[in-house]
Amino acid sequence: MTSVPLKAIVIDDEDRARNTLETLLREYCTGVDIVASCPNVPQGVIAINRLKPDLVFLDIEMPEYNGFELLNFFRDIDFEFIFVTAYNEYAIRAFEVSAADYLLKPVEISMLQAAVEKARNRSRLSGMKERIEILKDAFRGGDISRIAITVNDGFLFTEIADIIMLEADGSYTNVFLKNGTSMVVSKKIRFFEDVLLNRPNFSRPHRSWLINLNCVKKYIRGESSLLMDNGKLIPVSREKKPEFETHLKKLGITV
């Protein structure tokens, strides 16, 4: 049984970028039907209201209005969106903490196909409001209080303060929360370390662990271990111990 094609709109002020993306979609994403191509946000808003697309490919930096501002024109967003951007690594982290889909220019065929497939399988409006709010805060460089963690059946919107600790597991990370739940996330622990870099209450006392110092019940200095609020013992590695104890002193914690 053939699936219904996704109606898509491409919005980008650069003719070449827009034409290239349309060509890739037609050649390599047969389940996508391009119903409009727009050079700016106002035309894009009109096309979205008229054609009711399933998916919008959206450049960020455009004259007059940027890609984020397009989202402000809609009270309820009933379409998936994929940002197509040449932005740097900092901005990419903003997309990832909000679980927003993005493609880097020049667009790779395999990444385009994966993004389209993800959009097809994602339930409409899955945490859309929360995803957009986190994205805007993160992109502005604001002090975000939540992150969107991608799980098998959608997203888990998690307060950063509710994270007790994170455990490295190869290309994955085990996330432990205050409510007793844990989950496996398909991101390396380094990603979370970068996201939490400016939060002094998070520390990495061991290469396999990133912890919330507010959730430490006891530091067993002689054994070089930490007893967490959830009862787990976390090791403090020999090479990390001086840095870890200096971190504690800076926070006014006596060791």
Rounded mean pLDDT for each run of 10 residues along the chain, 255 residues in total: 82 95 96 96 96 94 85 87 79 77 91 90 70 79 78 81 96 95 91 85 95 93 92 94 87 70
Give the span between the Cα atoms of 158 and 83, in whole angstroms: 23
pLDDT score of 255:
59
**The CATH classification of domain 6-139, taken from the options 3.40.50.2300, 3.40.50.920, 1.10.286.10, 3.40.720.10:** 3.40.50.2300
Model pTM?
Answer: 0.75
Residues 6+ apart with CB under 8 A from 220: 226, 227
Q: Which residue has the tokens 């994403």?
A: 29
Rounded to an integer, what is the distance from CA 10 to the centroid of its chain?
Answer: 22
**Adjacency order of strands within the sheet including 216-220:** 216-220, 225-228, 233-235
For residue 68, give Cα distances in angstroms to 27, 102, 149, 237.
Answer: 28, 13, 21, 43
Length of the chain as a residue count: 255
Q: Determine the Cα–Cα distance for residues 7 and 51; give it in Å rounded to an integer.
A: 8
Which residue type, as a one-letter code, is found at position 236?
V
Name the CATH topology of 153-250: OB fold (Dihydrolipoamide Acetyltransferase, E2P) (2.40.50)
Name the percent of the chain in helix, strand, coil, to the closest 5: 35, 30, 35
pLDDT by residue (tens digit) across 129-142? Answer: 888 888 877 777 66
* DSSP type of residue 161: G
Q: What are the residue boundaries of the structural domains of the chain, listed by start?
A: 6-139, 153-250
What is the per-residue pLDDT across 95-104, written as a single tens digit (0 to 9) for each?
Answer: 878 877 889 8
